[in-house]
Amino acid sequence: MSYQTVTDESEQIVASGLTPEQLFAALRQMHLIRAFEEKAEALYALGKIHGTMHLSIGQEASAVGACLALRPDDYILSTHRGHGHCIAKGAEPQLMMAEFFGKEVGYCRGRGGSMHIADVAGGNLGANGIVAGGLPLSTGVGLSIKMQQLDRVCLAFFGDGAANEGAFHESLNLAAIWELPVVYICENNQYAMSMPVTAAFPISQIAQRAAAYNMPGMTVDGNDLLAVYGAVKTAVLRARSGGGPSLIEAVTYRWRGHSKSDRQRYRTRDEVKEWQARDPIIRLENLLVAAALFTAEQLTDLGMAARQTIDESVTFAEAQADPDPATILEGVYA
């Protein structure tokens, strides 16, 4: 049993094997996630979106880096903070935005909203409003994959708060006993609502808990796309070859509050600014420019194009039909 903390970016980019086209596409997805969530927040402020939402601005590298290691026919399960996971797995922003607006053409026919977007055809089995709720589901998906003798992998996203739920321990224990093809990814964004990880864990790295279940555990810089990709790629290859599950901790930070009702009295502005200086998008852009793969102008254009795509998705969503009230009970009863 060993644990690694990957910090050397230059070693990662050489070892990743990613092509410039793949890196460009990954950066585009990160921009789409950022633009989608900034627009969602603005729409909420305008009263066009109802309920609440949980934004992952600042965490884009963990979502995109992890899904970059998957095949299209692999599965993911997400969390209530799952917009980035959806886009990283290939969801169409316009159908996500339609779901936001409660439209019939949305991914869940307008019934799911922000916290419950699923794209089954794309391998996204759904976000989950229950903390740690996706963990036992992912173990079940892994069992299904194994019983069908498929070579697919299920990747389960969860937060640091979920790692203190019973479902976490039960899910990892069963997955280890049955050697299931599941990769558990803890996005440690430093707070479970207002509870800091330093007050909630007696260990320095959540990945250390892998030892209790005899599976590999690794902590990576969650704001470094290449670090996340490298760790998840190794775990995915292990799972696909029958080696069983792994636990990866991606250390990152959410720039916004837990939800729209969070006044963030538990942290300082200086702390937020410190993490914003580690912006995963700017970090990847600087790396790509320094490696002479792309010019700064090309990457600026990429960001502008992403924002235009999201603006167009709003126009699309607002023009779509609302669900027929007569169908309100569809999907309520099994």
pTM for the whole thing? 0.94
Phi/psi at 53 (nearest 5 deg)? -160, 155
Between CA 151 and CA 214 the distance in angstroms is 22
The whole-chain average pLDDT of the chain stands at 94
3-state class percentages of the chain: helix first, strand second, coil last, to nearest 5: 50, 10, 40
Q: Is the dihedral of CA 147, 150, 151, 155 positive or negative?
A: negative
pLDDT by residue for the chain (334 residues), tens digit each? 444 444 455 566 677 899 999 999 999 999 999 999 999 999 999 999 888 899 999 999 999 999 999 999 999 999 999 999 999 999 999 999 999 999 999 999 999 999 999 999 999 999 988 999 999 999 999 999 999 999 999 999 999 999 999 999 999 999 999 999 999 999 999 999 999 999 999 999 999 999 999 999 999 999 999 999 999 999 999 999 999 999 999 999 999 999 988 999 999 999 999 999 999 999 999 999 988 889 999 999 999 999 999 999 999 999 999 999 999 888 888 6
Percent of residues, the chain, with pLDDT higher than 90: 88
Between CA 20 and CA 318 the distance in angstroms is 36
Between CA 110 and CA 66 the distance in angstroms is 27
Write out the two tokens for 198.
Answer: 């330093």
* 93-100 vs 20-45: helix crossing angle, rounded to 10: 20
